Amino acid sequence: MSDNELLLEVEDLHVEFRTSDGVANVLNGVGYAVHAGETLAVLGESGSGKSVTAQTVMGILDVPPGVITAGAVRWRGEDLLTASEDRRREVRGSEIAMIFQDALSALNPVFTVGFQIEEQLRVRLGMSKKDARKRAVELLDIVRIPAAERRIRDYPHQFSGGMRQRAMIAMSLALDPDLLIADEPTTALDVTVQAQIMDLLGEIQAERKMGLVLITHDLGVVAEVADRIAVMYAGRIVEQADAAELFRAPAHPYTAALMDSLPRLDLKGQTLETIKGLPPSLLDIPPGCPFHPRCKRAEAKCSAEVPPQHAIGFGRTSACHFAEEVVSSRGSL
């Protein structure tokens, strides 16, 4: 794998969920790209479409109710959405792997952790039982699970939350993928364990030159590890930029509002900013910009016209009618 190779390209992806309550427009033209060795953070509130995008990329979207109505998911130039299921199975795990949000639910409670790692090594790589066990122990060592030779015989409920997440990382690395999708990998973990997990992912990524898609709503984690950031709202990507540029001066009011809601040491004693209202129902997304009912900058055109993706400098976009003004107002920060 060459440095900076384009691995994944998601283009104009549309997904809807057809339910008894109506059609929910879950993804509305999502697009992003990931290169070898790059960390792309996908940021947004719950329900913004982050995990559904990842499930579509992996080919594990529940159909029904999910229906892919448009778009492409290109893996090294090959559109996986039009590929055969056999080809999708070849890619899944061995070329693109995923760490799921809830490790306790993702791991099978009736099999040992070792068996679950070994199984894919035997089935996918044809390893003998002895070699698969040896490799599984090595993988648990890589993710720093103490006494790996003994713990490999334990069941998921015998692991702590942080150890279960490490076991999930070991499983995802078993087939040596080139791209890793981490869906909220530090959810429900304490701050110290969160830092350990993110440090571990960073070290593994640097060593293997993997691409990493980090799905999160934690701006603190994003600031530490991301090269690029894609901000999602109501099934759309509203802003994409290099991490440093986005934190210096966001180009979308939603991104700016997220940053303003973070506690800051220099604002001690002041009221913490909040984003008024709630994200829209995906069954009834408002016309125009979906953020306009909550936006302090909203004008009449915001409720009438869907803002296009504005290019703001090299490799940076914002889906806001007033993107340049937003950047200018924050540029001194």
**pLDDT score recorded for residue 331:** 59
Q: In whole angstroms, how far apart are CA 73 and each of 13, 28, 77, 170, 320?
A: 8, 14, 9, 26, 25
Share of the chain above pLDDT 70, in %: 98
Asked if residues 262 and 255 have their Cβ atoms less than 8 Å apart, the reply is no
- Alpha carbons 14 and 67: distance in angstroms, whole number: 9
From CA 164, how far away is CA 185, in angstroms rounded?
11
**Residue whose entry in the numeric block shows the structure tokens 């060592």:** 141
CA distance 204 to 208: 6
Tokens in use for 196?
């350990």
Name the token pair of 38. Answer: 């790059």
User: What contacts 208, CB < 8 A, 6 or more positions away?
Assistant: 176
- d(C-alpha 123, C-alpha 251), whole Å: 47
In terms of CATH, what superfamily is 6-226? P-loop containing nucleotide triphosphate hydrolases (3.40.50.300)
Residues 155-198 pLDDT 10s: 999 999 889 989 999 999 999 999 999 998 877 677 888 888 88
Q: What is the pLDDT of residue 332?
A: 45
Each of the 333 residues of the chain gets a pLDDT tens digit; together they read 566 899 999 999 999 999 999 999 999 999 999 999 999 999 998 889 999 999 999 999 998 899 999 999 999 999 999 999 999 999 999 999 999 887 778 899 999 999 999 999 999 999 999 999 999 999 999 999 999 999 999 999 999 988 998 999 999 999 999 999 999 887 767 788 888 888 888 888 988 899 999 998 888 888 889 999 999 999 999 999 999 999 999 999 999 999 888 877 776 777 778 888 889 999 999 999 999 999 988 999 999 999 998 898 888 999 999 998 888 887 543
Identify the burial level of 70 via C-beta atoms within 10 angstroms of its C-beta, where 0-12 means exposed, 13-18 middle and 19 or more buried: middle
Domain map of the chain by residue range?
6-226, 236-330
Give residue 150's pLDDT.
95
Burial of 311 (0-12, 13-18, 19+ CB in 10 A): exposed
> What 3-state DSSP class applies to 217?
coil
Q: Which residues contact 133 (CB under 8 A, 6 or more apart)?
A: 114, 118, 152
Query: What is the pLDDT at residue 196?
Result: 86
- Tell me whether residue 263 is exposed, middle or buried, using C-beta atoms within 10 angstroms of its C-beta: 0 to 12, 13 to 18, 19 or more: exposed
Instruction: Please give the pLDDT value at position 333.
Output: 39
